Homo-oligomer: A and B are copies of this chain.
Amino acid sequence: MPNIKLSKSEENYLKSIFNLSEFGNKQVSTNSISKILNIEPASVTDMLKKLSKKNLVYHEKYKGSTISKSGIKIALQIIRRHRLWEVFLHDKLKFKWDEIHEIAEELEHVSSEELIDNLDKYLKYPKIDPHGDPIPNKLGEIDFVDKISISDLNINEKGIVSRIINEDEEFFNLLKKLNIEIGTEIKIVDKIEYDQSVEILINKKSVIISKDISNNIKITKI
């Protein structure tokens, strides 16, 4: 397969389509891509045609788009680059958890395979990024640890925080206030039926968090 060199735009589209498709399994609407990338639907259609011609997505007029095998492969490489840079920014350059995403968004488009491989080695082949997201290896293989949310636990069950979905600064600050970070152990004290908020125990202190918050915190059951 001739390693096609893609533009930054094309790479961003592929990454978004992959993310929206839930690992290539779902059809993706033109509108959803438009919203995620903040680009008008008409422009998205243009690009879908282009990616379609390159066999990176299948696009059926007025229906939706599916990412192809080779599209997935490329998307995983971009995600790999992104997450490795995040590890570097966080662990080596001491950036805070919520500052790394934007910079990694730029760095991920520097396309030298050797660069990424050497970076990977330098970082000692990390398996997850600072948000707890798994990092694909050189071959695009990725650990699909099917994570559950806090709200999926029952009363008295325990878990370890393993992944934070929302990457906004606001959310980051909230977690800091709650003393929650990756690795934190939590225990479900109570589940409130009314609004599905959850009372949890963190370091022997109990707090009540909303449904929205608990959905954004993935855990490993213990």
Contact = CB atoms under 8 A, between A and B. Distances in A.
A92 B115 CA distance: 11
Contacts of A95: 114, 118
One complex includes copies of this chain to the number of 2
18 contacts: A89-B115, A89-B118, A92-B122, A93-B115, A93-B119, A93-B122, A94-B118, A94-B122, A95-B114, A95-B118, A99-B114, A102-B112, A103-B110, A103-B112, A103-B114, A106-B110, A106-B112, A107-B110
Nearest to A99: B114
A161 to B, nearest CB: 26
Cβ-closest 5 pairs across A and B = A93-B118, A106-B110, A103-B112, A103-B115, A93-B122
A114 B100 CA distance: 11
Contacts of A94: 118, 122
Contacts of A103: 110, 112, 114-115
Chain A interface size range: 10 to 19
Nearest to A107: B110
Interface in A107-126: 107, 110-112, 114-115, 118-119, 121-122
Contacts of A111: 106
Given A89-B118, A102-B112, A107-B107, 18 more contacts: A89-B115, A92-B122, A93-B118, A93-B119, A93-B121, A93-B122, A94-B118, A94-B122, A95-B114, A95-B118, A99-B114, A103-B112, A103-B114, A103-B115, A106-B110, A106-B112, A107-B110, A110-B110
A103 B102 CA distance: 20
A118 B118 CA distance: 20
Interface in A45-86: none
A73 to B, nearest CB: 22
